[in-house]
């Protein structure tokens, strides 16, 4: 199978930032800066591989709230997402 061309998922009117904070936010609490870039070439990537018990946890230093990103076995909800993505990819 040919490798799919990587595309950015950006809004049509996305503004390029000349310097930025990379932030995380729990609910509607104040954002927490977790990285920064001085120019428009800045990138922050989080890659999770499809292995059991692989993930990352962010802990809010102020409230103690946790944000977990993790992999788990494919569920019915995951299958629905895959089906929707396939439908979108097959549209002209």
| Residues 48-89: tens digit of each pLDDT | 888 988 888 888 888 888 888 889 889 999 999 999 988 988
For residue 9, count CB atoms less than 10 angstroms from its CB and return exposed for 0-12, middle for 13-18, buried for 19 or more.
Answer: exposed
Of 69, 44, 46, 72, nearest in space to 57 by CA: 69
Q: Smallest Cα–Cα separation from 63: which of 30, 34, 36?
A: 30
DSSP structure class, residue 51: -
Task: Say how far apart CA 32 and CA 66 lie, in whole Å.
Answer: 13
Q: What is the pLDDT of residues 16-46, one digit of tens each?
A: 899 999 888 877 888 888 888 988 888 888 8
What pLDDT was estimated at residue 2?
Answer: 52
- Rounded to a whole number of angstroms, the distance between the first and last alpha carbons of the chain is 21
């Amino acid at each position: 199978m040919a490798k799919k061309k990587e595309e950015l998922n950006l809004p049509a009117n996305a503004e390029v930032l000349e310097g930025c904070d990379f932030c995380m936010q729990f609910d509607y609490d104040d954002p927490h800066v977790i990285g920064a870039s001085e120019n428009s070439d800045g990138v922050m990537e989080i890659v999770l591989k499809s292995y059991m018990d692989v993930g990352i946890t962010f802990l809010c230093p102020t409230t103690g709230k946790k944000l977990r990103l993790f992999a788990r076995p494919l569920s019915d909800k995951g299958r629905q997402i895959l089906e929707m993505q396939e439908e979108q990819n097959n549209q002209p």
